[in-house]
């Protein structure tokens, strides 16, 4: 049953909620609970008289009270649990607190703390969020979605828990990721929480730790695979299309061999994208584009080395290739500017271990025939950097110290302003620290990292370090696609968004060394990205036919600012 609906008073124009719950039920619903903010009239009309202390608090007073409690927590896991409890109790208060303190709280509600929470989710969960779909209830998909009490679902973030961050198969405990991602969609993008649904596809787990854990709450069976898995996903997608035809579906933390297949299979059938592949790639390309502004160079003049060709690395290679195509380079020239390195070393065309998604970025054997190698039969990273004269080095290896001093010095020898993107997280898995990169390159490196790093003092100047976080991209892409009523999310939308993001970096920020805008402007970033996506949707014939200004106005109006609405009692329709 829907618990409320959005309404507008025809006479006064006041926006309000028509609510269908009464008394203690309102306190128990996190979307409707206003805590001490219920007015005298609302307490009388909604069965709340005597159920709360006399005082009526403003939202600002509630935030001050809550922030004081939050900062008394002794460690990050306790802070995560505190915020999760607040989310389950009073969503408006949670999102006001989060939006006002996003830089401080983002590492708690998402990486790295959310990863640690997912490792323990069956042990720490107090109240489930979203929906769990598994082989034993997939036949009731319509009933499951009918049980969702949200007034209108427009955004679904879904995972099957097989590749959670760098932690592997976490089964149904991976639900912490969609919950965290939606928190960022709301806080950064401004999508109303009443439109957002986290979903876990619990198709089993192959983790002995979980299967042997008496407190694990997921299905205790090996994972579905092959045709059985494909049929399950198809039933889920068809159910989404039938029940929520206007919703955007974001695939999150699926294993590599499934993620690419699902992205390709459904990208033209429904409004959907994969943030691990597409979002990561274009966020990295935005940082690279900003670096070109500092270097006064272009992609066509650079030589890119990408280390770690999983979802993120392959997505980044695709994003770089798309920019090079727009610069007018033919395919053979593009291939000679992107060097992909994985566990076996440089990817070459005759390598039997090549995966389908890696093949477009494998070098021809003839192209490297004249290279000088440290050891015959294998072309390792140092060989690639030295022979290709790499100017940009991008890492997705999750190996701390992968970019050692020798590698960083080689990059400094190759280019006066080498670009170093050490994008693995958390900090303990970063390929190098910002300080290491600057020390080895004489302070000349242009840096972005996957984990947050403090500014680094280099002589008389302080170099700021941008965190290359998907938060810069996915909230705006989702918002823009929804507002423009796009029928699908295309590569062109992502590339246009990437260029718009890179242009947002101010000259002052570039002088500080930042390759992405400051996190404090994340709402404006989401707006800019959303507008770029909406304009591309229109120009490609996939979205609303409105002027740039009109699309911008629609996006501004869609960005919800956390505040309490007035309530009026109603009866479900």
Q: Would you please indicate which residues are annotated as catalytic (active-site) residues?
A: 110, 181
Strand partners, 272: 249
Residues 2/20, Cβ–Cβ less than 8 Å: yes
CA 197, CA 201: separation in Å to the nearest integer?
13
What is the Cα Rg of the chain in Å? 24
b/e sequence 341-362, b meaning 16+ C-beta within 10 Å: bbeebbbbeebeebeebbebbb
Instruction: Name the burial class of residue 499, with classes exposed (0-12), middle (13-18) and buried (19+) by CB atoms within 10 angstroms of its CB.
Output: middle
CA dihedral for 294, 297, 298, 303, sign (positive or negative): negative
Pairing of strands 248-251, 272-274: parallel
CA 275, CA 157: separation in Å to the nearest integer?
10
Listed as own residue / partner, the contacts of 272-275 with beta carbons closer than 8 Å and 24 or more positions apart are 272/248, 272/488, 272/489, 273/248, 273/477, 273/489, 273/494, 274/250, 274/311, 274/315, 275/181, 275/250, 275/251, 275/470, 275/473, 275/474
CA dihedral for 43, 44, 47, 48, sign (positive or negative): positive
Residues 177/118, Cβ–Cβ less than 8 Å: yes
* Token representation of residue 459: 């002589």
């Amino acid at each position: 049953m829907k618990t409320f609906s959005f309404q507008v008073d025809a006479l006064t124009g006041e926006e309000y909620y028509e609510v269908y719950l009464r008394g203690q039920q309102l306190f128990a619903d996190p979307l409707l609970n206003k805590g001490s903010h219920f007015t005298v009239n609302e307490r009388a009309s909604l069965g709340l008289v005597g159920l709360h202390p006399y005082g009526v608090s403003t939202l600002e007073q509630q935030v001050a009270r809550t922030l004081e409690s939050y900062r008394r927590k002794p460690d990050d896991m306790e802070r995560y649990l505190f915020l999760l409890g607040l989310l389950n109790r009073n969503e408006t208060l949670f999102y006001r607190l989060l939006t006002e303190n996003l830089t401080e709280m983002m590492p708690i509600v998402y990486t790295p703390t959310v990863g640690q929470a997912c490792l323990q989710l069956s042990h720490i969960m107090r109240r489930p969020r979203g929906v769990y779909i598994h082989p034993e209830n997939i036949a009731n998909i319509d009933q499951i979605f009918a049980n969702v009490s949200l007034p209108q679902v427009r955004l679904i973030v879904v995972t099957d828990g097989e590749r959670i961050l760098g932690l592997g198969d976490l089964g149904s405990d991976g639900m912490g990721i969609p919950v965290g991602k939606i928190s960022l969609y709301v806080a950064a993008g401004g999508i109303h929480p009443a439109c957002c649904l986290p979903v876990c596809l619990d198709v089993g787990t192959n983790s002995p730790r979980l299967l042997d854990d008496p407190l694990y709450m997921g299905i205790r069976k090996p994972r579905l695979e092959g045709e059985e898995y494909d049929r399950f996903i198809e039933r889920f997608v068809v159910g989404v299309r039938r029940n929520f035809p206007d919703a955007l579906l974001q695939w999150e933390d699926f294993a590599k061999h499934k993620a690419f297949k699902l992205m390709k299979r459904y990208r033209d059938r429904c409004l959907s994208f994969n943030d691990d592949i597409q979002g990561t790639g274009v966020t990295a390309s935005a940082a690279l584009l900003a670096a070109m502004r500092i270097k006064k160079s272009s992609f066509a003049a650079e030589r890119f080395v990408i280390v770690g060709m999983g979802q993120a690395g392959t997505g980044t290679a695709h994003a770089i290739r798309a920019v090079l195509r727009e610069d007018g380079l033919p395919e053979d020239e593009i291939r000679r500017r992107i060097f992909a390195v994985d566990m076996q070393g440089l990817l070459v065309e005759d390598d039997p271990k090549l995966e389908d998604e890696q093949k477009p970025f494998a070098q021809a054997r003839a192209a490297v025939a004249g290279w000088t190698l440290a050891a015959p039969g294998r072309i390792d990273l140092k060989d690639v950097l030295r022979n290709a004269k790499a100017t940009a080095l991008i890492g997705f290896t999750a190996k701390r110290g992968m970019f050692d001093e020798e590698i960083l010095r080689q990059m400094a020898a190759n280019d006066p302003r080498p670009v170093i993107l050490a994008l693995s997280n958390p900090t303990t898995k970063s390929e190098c620290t910002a300080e290491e990169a600057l020390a080895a390159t004489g302070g000349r490196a242009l840096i972005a990292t996957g984990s947050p790093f403090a500014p680094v003092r280099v002589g008389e100047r302080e170099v700021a370090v941008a965190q290359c976080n998907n938060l810069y991209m996915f909230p705006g892409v989702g918002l823009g696609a929804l507002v423009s009523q796009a029928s699908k999310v295309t590569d062109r939308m992502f590339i246009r968004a990437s260029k718009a993001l890179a242009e947002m970096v101010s000259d002052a920020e570039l002088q500080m060394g930042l390759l992405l805008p400051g996190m404090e402007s994340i709402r404006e970033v989401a707006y800019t990205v959303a507008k770029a996506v909406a304009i591309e949707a229109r120009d490609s014939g996939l979205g609303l036919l409105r002027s740039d200004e009109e699309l911008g106005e629609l996006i501004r109006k869609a960005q919800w600012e956390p505040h309490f609405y007035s309530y009026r009692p109603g009866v479900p329709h």
